[in-house]
Chains A and B, each alone.
Chain A
Amino acid sequence: MKRIITITVLNRPGVLNRITGLFTKRLYNIESITVGHTETEGVSRITFTVEVEDHKQVEQLTKQLNKQIHVLKVTDMTNQNVVARELALIKVNSPAASRLEIYGIIEPFRASVIDVGKESLVIQATGEPGKVEALIDLLKPYGIKEVARTGTTAFTRSSKRNTPEKATFIV
């Protein structure tokens, strides 16, 4: 099962290495990882999505992460009400004839074209990972040349309505 876990860490050399090493050591598969500064100086925030077998593994994973000296807080957000976003850049084949069609496809996704070439377009999409996935699927028939995705970054919603056991990856 897929989990979204966020960690706040002290921004010290080797911290990310230590954390990803822990995943490797205990055979957890990282699907995506995003890292960036937080509002507090010297503190970074890491968002992982991981594939684990069961709740026991999640518990063990969060406990092991918590043990790291420079880790301040570990949150498994999966069952909370979260805002999860991902950014993707998609370079897609687009001869003049299909260009309008493509514009038509990306419009409902509120994606935008950020670069136009003779034979291709670069589309920027942001949103829940499932939405990005769906857009990529729709663009596939035109011939996707390259995709760059950031991986999920997530926040709990301000309203504290919990939705237990609900899979968050539904678009």
Chain B
Amino acid sequence: MKLQVEMDEAQLERPVRMTGGSMLIEALKREKVEVLFGYPGGAVLPLYDKLYGSGLFHILTRHEQGAIHAAEGYARISGKPGVVIATSGPGATNLVTGLADAMIDSLPLVVFTGQVASTVIGSDAFQEADVLGITMPITKHSVQVRHVDELPIAIKEAFHIAATGRPGPVLIDIPKDIAVSEGEFKYNQELELPGYQPVTEPNHLQIRKLVEAVSRAKKPVILAGAGVLHAKASEDLKNYAEQQDIPVVHTLLGLGGFPADHRLFLGMAGMHGTYTANMALYECDLLINFGARFDDRLTGNLDDFAKYATVAHVDIDPAEVGKNVPVHIPVVGDAKRVLKELIHQHGKKAEASEWLAKQDQSKKEFPLWYEESKDVIKPQKLLEMVYTHTEGNAIVTTDVGQHQMWAAQFYPFKTADSWVTSGGLGTMGFGLPSAIGAQLADRSRKVVAVLGDGGFQMTLQELSVIYELQLPIKIIILNNESLGMVRQWQEIFYEERYSHSKFVSQPNFNKLAEAYGIKGLTITNMAEAEAELKDALHSEEPMLINVLVEKEENVYPMIAPGKGIQQMTGVKP
């Protein structure tokens, strides 16, 4: 067993000579990295050699995609950068999906990829790929280390850039020779990033304008996105909404930022949002957006979105302001600071009692709905049961598709850091590995991975990791033997021509789980569903729960593509 690389603060005040590999280990310790997700290979062997006996907690996933989604889940729940290591070539290219996912959903990641030795870069060497070139458009920043002395500062910059401003993935490509050559390790130096100065303090005048707009408004609404969660501002959001009596709608990614059981909550907005939330966005005269990027799945046809409203957009990323929706009051800054400032500066409250009464009425009249059944299991019903038996305290992760939308609709999120989903990129296969990361970020909470049978089969090999670490994750597969959302669209928009959306064969999920050492359970009918689910959710071991649900159930209500936010179908049974 190799000796652990240990340095005290004093020693690190002055430069110490060590190899690139040792630098990485030391830097990760300096950054207080709790867990790494990765997969070794030729080009990163020198790094893995230094990892051996280093005391750092590394998780060997079964695919690099698993590693990066796990890191995303970890980042989402812990609020700290998720750290990933992969080898050159195929190892690195397997990270592409996760990088794009983290980029669009603003999750902080620090990703290390190995690269072939500097001497053969550009020669199409074994396992060589132009990783920087491939990943540039889907990273917040990336760098290839050309000299070992640059490595420590590159790592320090990466952690800083990933976690500050609008968070995002940062990639460091390390040629193999850099990992073995010796240089000076110095980590206490100040960062010099003149081109990177995120604005966190909002402009005073813009805040003033917003305060005045609120006092004039009769129909104000707050749209809260994931920016609220990134800024850890959910408490401030609640205080502000209550102080001003403004109703709140959430984006898909923002769920949990405002308590779903709050009197001012109107539900999720967007394609499968609530009628009340969408109509509020349509009719409002003042829209205050905190940290949402006006995604097309949220806005529907832009011509109808917030048609009559003065739009205020609070975002830490100036490029988001005015990108999709014209903005009258731009506020660049950290959501928490802006909210604190708004609470502090508050003027006259909006005269919105009529508007609020209308929302209350609308919530009663147009709740989310589904047709109950005594025999077949309705996915919505099952998610309600999950909510009941976890008392709404679980962390829920999902893949992408119908199950994701039902989870967003029928599991009311009460707190921030309860919801891990792939919003912007819509990545199937995200739910299982991200559950691993989420559980590692918070061991004390119950993690439920709600998956579709399609997405599960994209990254199911990570069951191995769940078994190995005995993570008590409950994997719930809402099994409709098809790609449910694809099937739904084919039904509605392609004249029921079900082109390749139904699985002809499926594995025996119970046996599959058992093969990985995990208990499998299949729930087939409504009569037993509640009792079986309850027991499963209360058990302390990992479990795969395969639920045979109504196969042709669709997600409603819905805004069809191209339609305006007020043109929802399936609002009532």
A interface residues, Cβ below 8 angstroms from B: 9-10, 12-14, 17-18, 21-22, 25, 56, 59-60, 63-64, 66-72
Contact = CB atoms under 8 A, between A and B. Distances in A.
Contacts of B137: 21-22, 25
B319 A64 contact: yes
A10 B143 CA distance: 13
B311 to A, nearest CB: 14
B174 to A, nearest CB: 14
Contacts of A63: 318-319, 323
B161 interface: yes
Interface in B288-345: 317-319, 322-323
Of the candidates B132, B193, B195, B196, the one having the most CB atoms from chain A within 10 angstroms of its own CB is: B195
A69 B195 contact: yes
B195 A56 contact: no
A10 B319 contact: no
Contacts of A9: 195
B132 A71 contact: no
Interface string B185-198: 00000000111100
A69 B169 CA distance: 13
Nearest to B198: A67
Contact of A70 (B140, B144, B195, B323): B195
A22 B141 CA distance: 12
A72 B136 contact: no
20 contacts: A9-B195, A13-B146, A14-B142, A14-B143, A17-B133, A18-B136, A25-B137, A56-B322, A60-B322, A63-B318, A66-B318, A66-B319, A67-B317, A67-B319, A68-B195, A69-B141, A69-B161, A69-B193, A70-B195, A72-B195
A76 to B, nearest CB: 15
Nearest to B146: A13
Contacts of B132: 14, 17
A18 B196 CA distance: 15
A72 B192 CA distance: 12
What's the dominant secondary structure at chain B's contact region? mixed
Given A63-B318, A66-B318, A70-B195, A13 B136 contact: no
B332 to A, nearest CB: 10
A21 B138 CA distance: 11
Given A14-B144, A69-B196, A72-B195, 12 more contacts: A9-B195, A13-B144, A14-B132, A14-B136, A14-B143, A17-B136, A25-B137, A59-B322, A60-B322, A67-B317, A69-B161, A69-B193
Contacts, number: 44
Contact of B195 (A21, A22, A59, A71): A71
The interface size bin for chain B is: 20 to 34
Contact of A60 (B161, B193, B319): B319
A64 B137 CA distance: 12
Nearest to B173: A14
B463 to A, nearest CB: 36
B146 A10 contact: no
Nearest to B166: A67
A63 to B, nearest CB: 4
Nearest to A62: B319
A25 B317 CA distance: 18
B166 to A, nearest CB: 8
Nearest to A73: B195
Nearest to B139: A18
Interface in B50-86: none
Interface string B126-150: 0000001100110011111010000
A17 B143 CA distance: 12
A58 to B, nearest CB: 11
A71 B319 CA distance: 14
Contacts of A12: 143
A67 B323 CA distance: 14
Contacts of B140: 69
A108 to B, nearest CB: 44
Contacts of A64: 319
A21 B136 contact: yes
Interface in B218-262: none
B146 A72 contact: no
A9 B196 CA distance: 12
Nearest to A71: B195
B319 A72 contact: no
A72 B193 CA distance: 9
Nearest to B321: A63
A60 B46 CA distance: 43
Contact of B323 (A17, A25, A60, A66): A60
Of the candidates B140, B194, B322, the one having the most CB atoms from chain A within 10 angstroms of its own CB is: B194
Contacts of B318: 63, 66-67
Of the candidates A17, A63, A69, the one having the most CB atoms from chain B within 10 angstroms of its own CB is: A69
Nearest to B161: A69
A74 B140 CA distance: 18
A69 B143 CA distance: 11
A18 to B, nearest CB: 5
